[in-house]
Amino acid sequence: MLRSLPAEGSGVSERIRLAHGSGGELSRRLVHEVFLRYLLDPELARLEDSAVLSADGLDGACGALAFTTDSYVVSPLEFPGGDIGKLAVCGTVNDLAAAGARPLWMAAGWILEEGLPLDTLERLVRSMAEWSAAAGIRVVTGDTKVVPQGLADGAYVNTSGVGWVPQGRCLGRQRVRSGDRVLVSGCLGDHGVAVMLARQGISMSAHLVSDVAPLHGLVQSLFDAEVDVRWLRDATRGGLGSVLCELAQGANYGIEVEEQSLPVRAEVSGAAELLGLDPLFIANEGKMVVVVPPEDAAAALGAWNSHPLGRDAAVVGRVTEKHPGRVVSLTPYGTSRIVHLPAGELLPRIC
């Protein structure tokens, strides 16, 4: 029997689809048209990785707190290079680091599906413990809920994180200027491809691991090198392309990306060719994007290249007065094209 599907015009398109969660244009609209419509806080509206809340004057403090939250849903729970426990720690640390903050404390809420093997959960929690210790962030509060079988994909994790932003440190898109350089801290798409290959339905394999890693040290290396960091962002779902599109959106500047300068591993390139994907939009879990003034680009690149997590870092683009609001990709053929936020889920295609 046909299950009843809504008739034409009954609002089929107004339901949540997976594409709403993929970090592309539909995610952007969801945030703007639903969440920011009702939740009006100006700090929230900045849409940065963390909220930065001034502590100046509070009992004599100088500086600010960075406060972030994120949720982790990944299938499979354990993938080459990591698992959801490590992912949750790194994601939280990186969101704080992107605000220029030192990660301090985090909360972890676990939503467990009935039937999840206890030893799997133990491995995930042990991983969370190991990586939070390694990243110097303390898991100081938590929660667990169990939902009936079929209502979750094994386990989901929600985290909150708090970090300390030293006095005088100011990052934000409002500081970005025409002429600034854009750097990415390493190869694009490792996480997205590693996870995609680990899923069923593709049946491809590669010696490729997720890049999931805590990046607070990498960010600190910029401050240690006295780089004037204008803007930082953790390039996760939606990839570098989405991060740059969001930066340019509504701005009075544009961004030009040199296609040839993008660092991409052979395995990611190979999978992208076979599956018809663009590495610019494939997810990372251990890549920071930074905008710096042109005179600091060499110092920033040097700082990253000498850090173990930034060996493949590269200058990939520049901020320009041309085509404000847009990201433009410059091809090796002297041509160019506009880079758009991807419309929906990243799906393997054969066209």
Partner 1 sequence: MCLAVPVLLKQKRDDSGTIDLGGVEREVSLLLTPEAQEGDYVIVHAGFAISVLDREEAEATLSLFRELADSQGQ
Partner 2 sequence: MRYLSDFRDAAACAALAERIRRLAHGAGEMQFMEFCGGHTHAIARHGLRSLLPENVRLVSGPGCPVCVSSQGDVDRAVALAGRDGVTVVTFGDMMQVPGSEGSLQEARALGADVRVVYSPADALRLAVDCPGRQVVFLGVGFETTAPAVAATVLQAQRQGITNYSVLSLHKLTPPAMRAVLDAGEVRLDGVIGPGHVSTVIGAGAWRFLPEEHGLGCAVAGFEPADLLLAVAELVRMVVEGRPEVANCYRRSVSDGGNSRALAVMEQAFQVVDADWRGLGVVPASGLHFRPELADLDAGARLALPKLESREPAGCRCGEVLRGVLEPSQCPLFGSACTPESPVGPCMVSTEGACSAHYLLREAG
Q: What is the closest distance, in whole angstroms, from the C-beta atom of residue 276 to partner 1 in the complex?
A: 5
Closer residue to partner 2, CB minimum distance, 138 or 199:
199
Tokens standing for residue 350? 């054969």
Q: What is the closest distance, in whole angstroms, from the C-beta atom of residue 33 to partner 2 in the complex?
A: 12
Among positions 30, 36, 146, 204, the unique one binding partner 1 when judged by CB under 8 A: 204
Q: How far apart are CA 137 and CA 88, in angstroms?
A: 12
3-state SS assignment for residue 141: strand
Which run of H or E residues covers position 64?
strand 64-72
Q: What is the closest distance, in whole angstroms, from the C-beta atom of residue 4 to partner 2 in the complex?
A: 8
- The stretch near partner 1 (CB under 8 A) out of 120-128, 138-146, 164-172, 270-278 is 270-278
- The stretch near partner 1 (CB under 8 A) out of 41-49, 142-150, 262-270, 289-297 is 262-270
- Told to check if 8 binds partner 1 by CB under 8 A, we report no
Indicate which of partner 1, partner 2, none lies near residue 3 (CB less than 5 to 8 Å, by partner kind). partner 2
3-state SS assignment for residue 76: coil
Indicate which of partner 2, partner 1, none lies near residue 343 (CB less than 5 to 8 Å, by partner kind). partner 2
Q: How far apart are CA 182 and CA 254, in angstroms?
A: 12
Among positions 205, 252, 306, 331, the unique one binding partner 1 when judged by CB under 8 A: 205
Q: What is the closest distance, in whole angstroms, from the C-beta atom of residue 249 to partner 2 in the complex?
A: 14
3-state SS assignment for residue 97: helix
Q: How far apart are CA 49 and CA 94, in angstroms?
A: 8
Contact 296, 215 (CB under 8 A): no
Contact 230, 170 (CB under 8 A): no
Q: Give, in order, the Cα–Cα distances in Å from 70 to each of 196, 239, 276.
A: 21, 17, 29
- Alpha carbons within 13 A on the beta-carbon side of 254: 15
Q: Which residues sit at the interface with partner 1, rule CB under 8 A?
A: 197, 203-208, 265-271, 273-274, 276, 349-351
Residues lying near partner 2 in the complex (CB under 8 A)? 1-3, 5-8, 12-13, 15-19, 24-26, 29, 201-204, 266, 269-270, 273-276, 323, 326, 328, 331-338, 340, 343-345, 347-351
